[in-house]
A and B are shown apart, each in its own frame.
Chain A
Amino acid sequence: MKTGNVVNFREVMITVILAIICGFLYVGWAPLFMGLDAALPGAGDSIYGVWFFAGVLAALIVQKPGIALLAEVAAASGELLMGGPYGLSTLLYGLAQGAATEVIFLIFGYKNFKLPVLLLAGAAAGAASLVYDAFSGYLAELNTTAMTAKIVLRVLSGAIFAGLLAQVVAGLLVKTGVLNSYAIVKKKMERPF
């Protein structure tokens, strides 16, 4: 069966819902991050990757263009609506992270969603959020040690908490059977070996 590369409404709908659930979870994550970050810069960054999870997960499930970006922006707006602690800048973070995730999948032509690509996508989102931080906030003003720690840890955290975790969670969701009509399962059925 041939699947076009244009998203249908069902796919948009599950992307947005998954993203909003992630946004709901992010609100609970923020205080943990802030506490860790105040204690030791970089400590917060080691768990920062969770914020890129929505984009990678949705892209992995739907495997079509635009999904990662949509998911990150939707997650950000969900977080904003729930009263997340970063105000409107959440939206800009979402935009930057989603775009970076999207670019990685685009490079692989939306065909390769194996673990290395997912790790790369998570790491790219981390890099994008760092660029935004450098532009808007506190990154450039830190001393060199703190800055390096933040950069390295956040990129790694993106790869693990977004890339690897998305793979794990998607695997668990596949087992529940709810994803049977989406690319993540369908593509495997087409080419079982």
Chain B
Amino acid sequence: MHIGRFGPPRKIRALAVGCAIAVGAAGAVASRAVAQQQQNFDNVQEDIVHVRDGVYMLVGAGGNTTVMAGDDGVLVVDTQFAPLSTKILNAIRSISDKPIRYIVNTHMHADHIGGNEAISKAGRTRAGGNVVGDLGAAATATAAIIAHENVLLRLSMAAPGQPQVPAAAWPTETFATRKQEMRFNGEAVQIIHEPHAHTDGDSLVFFRRSDVVSTGDLFTTVMYPYIDEANGGTINGYIDALNAILDITIASNVNEGGTMVIPGHGRLSDEQDVIEYRDMTTIVRDRIKEYVKRGMTLEQVKAARPTLDFDPRYGTPNGFWTPAQFVEVIYKEMKEAQGPARPQPKNQKSSRKGQTKGGGQ
């Protein structure tokens, strides 16, 4: 029940998500073992939200999972944390008893790939011809794991001092092009790479007939965009990705619904929710870009409070990815894009901003 005072529950939820992403981000350079140590998953329940047709959203801990089920089998987008694998499998089995054929990873953070190994082993992919001849039964023993090539590169090369993610959790099918396409359960599925956004290996998964897009952490409803610089993320790439989502989405004739959007974290959404988030992200980026252009220091920019109007909604001041961190990463990127310092004109007037895609680059 969410009547009345929304403040505390929202903060608790944001904190929980923040922790999940924190663990996920840590897992990007650490491991699922770290995640397990930091979170107790015993009380986590998988909330199954029917989105449309055979597409469902599972909300547990960590990133949201998308399940697409039909006669051909089950396709799973993102697998949350490893200790939740059994709960995720139970949720999938309540939707379909068909084999799990594919897992798609939207990126490489541990809160999105943690269940890869167990869920893959619970499935069977399709293979034939000389593939089966070479590999035997192993060719179909697990569900295939699909991701952009950079996900495999990041997972297979653990950062110094961090445990290795088991090879069984790595992607088995990667792509290095703009998109990967497949037809499954009678519908076209597009896996679209968005470069240098949340990380450098992000993908959107668009179910064309069902008209549902699963975004991974390229869109959330619970916090500011997390730009994982260490793994290739950038604010301009993130805004490009949000605009790419809006290129896909089309609202219904009453300007809501239509294409449904499953976020990386948070509630089920549609185009308008992405517009609000895109607007917020672009406005904050543009403000900081303008401040950098005026020669302001990071401390001055922070003092100007460029996120004040959005902090009560997206800020997690004491948790992971604070407004200050969000400002810092944008400032750094805008500063680098600006190049060497230039003299600033005096008496600058009010300015209406408005940047193009990647305008800060």
Decide whether A and B are members of one complex. Answer: no
What residues make up the interface of B, taking CB atoms closer than 8 Å to A?
none
What residues make up the interface of A, taking CB atoms closer than 8 Å to B?
none
